[in-house]
Amino acid sequence: MISFASIQLPPPPPLRHHHSTLVSAHLHKTTMYQPDRFRFFPHVSSISSSARPVHSGSSLASVAPLEAILFDIDGTLCDSDPLHFYAFRDMLQEIGFNGGTPITEEFFIKNISGKHNEELREILLPDWEIQRSRKFLEDKEALFRRLASEQLQPMKGLQKLCKWIEDCGLRRAAVTNAPRSNAELLISMLGLSDFFESLVLASECDRVKPFPDPYLKALQELGISHHHAFVFEDSVSGIKAGTGAGMPVVGLGTRNPEQLLTEAGAVFVIEDFDDPKLWTELEELKIKAEVTTTTEL
C-alpha cells in the first residue's frame, strides 16, 4: 500500500466564500506527488448492498474458460486516488468543511473513495441545495482532471496485462462510478481508447456501485456470461458490485488494506499488475483454456 503522506501540497490559501473562485485559482496550480509506502488505517465502514456476492476464495479457477475481464478505472487502471484526495482536501477546507480542518487520509478512504458523486453530496454537503452541491462536485472534478492531465501514471504492469489480454483474444470493458468526462480523459491518457470494447458509466444505470447493475450491464453489452469473466477493482463498493454480479473480483491493494478488500469479497488482493500472484492465476487460466481447446478438437 502506498501513502498520500508524501503529496507535496502548497500552503493552503485563505478561505473563500465562493468555490467557483476557488477552483479557478486551483486550475492554475500544479501539485506534484511522489508515492511512498505506509500502513493504511485498519477499518473502513462496510457498504450495504442488496446484491448477493459470490463466495470469496483464493483463485480464478471458477471462470475457466476465461472470456472477458472487466476493469474499474480510478485506482485500478491508474493510481488516481492521491489526485482525488488533494482536490477534495483543498476544496473542502476552503468552504470551511469540518471547521476548516483538512480532511485526513482515513476520512477520504472511509467516506469518499469509490463512491458516486450523488452519494457524496449526501455525505459531505447534506445541508446544501442540490444544485449548489452538484456544482461544487463538478468543480472538484474539473480540478481533478487538470491534475490528472499533468500527473497521471498508469498502474504498474498495466501495459503488460493489456498485451496479455489482447494476445489471448479476451473481451474487455471499463466500468466506473466516475463522470464520463473523467473516465474518457483517463482512458485516453492511458492509451486505452481502442483497448476497451465498452465503457459503462454507473450514472447511466438504474443503480450505481456498490449495486451490481453497472457490471451486469457490461456483461450484457459484451454478450458474456458471468461464469466466464472476472473483475479488477480497488474499492469496497466496486468489489461488492462485481461480486454482486456473480463474478470473482481481484482487489488492487495499492491504496486500501488487503483485509478490507478481502472482507468485501475479493478472491485475492494484488499490489499492482506485476504481482506474481496475479500472473500465476492468469497462466493457470491460459493452460486450462488450451486444454479445453485440445479436448474439443
Annotated active-site residue 74? The verdict is: yes
- Catalytic residue, candidates 36, 72, 81, 194: 72
Annotated active-site residue 234? The verdict is: no
All three cell numbers of 39, joined, read: 500502513
- Catalytic residue, candidates 74, 81, 90, 213: 74
> Contact, 282 vs 164, CB < 8 A?
yes
Residue linked to cell 472534478: 141
Long-range contacts of 88-92 (CB under 8 A, 24+ apart): 88/112, 88/140, 89/9, 90/9, 90/12, 90/26, 90/143, 91/19, 91/22, 91/23, 91/26, 91/136, 91/139, 91/140, 91/143, 92/124
> Contact, 165 vs 196, CB < 8 A?
no
CA pair distance 98, 172, nearest whole angstrom: 41
Helix ranges, the chain (H):
19-26, 81-94, 105-111, 117-124, 130-151, 158-168, 180-189, 213-222, 236-244, 258-264, 276-296
Residue whose C-alpha is closest to residue 237's, from 146, 105, 116, 103: 116
Residue whose C-alpha is closest to residue 226's, from 209, 259, 207, 249: 249
Residue whose C-alpha is closest to residue 105's, from 126, 123, 125, 88: 88
CA pair distance 141, 91, nearest whole angstrom: 11
Catalytic residue positions, numbered = 72, 74
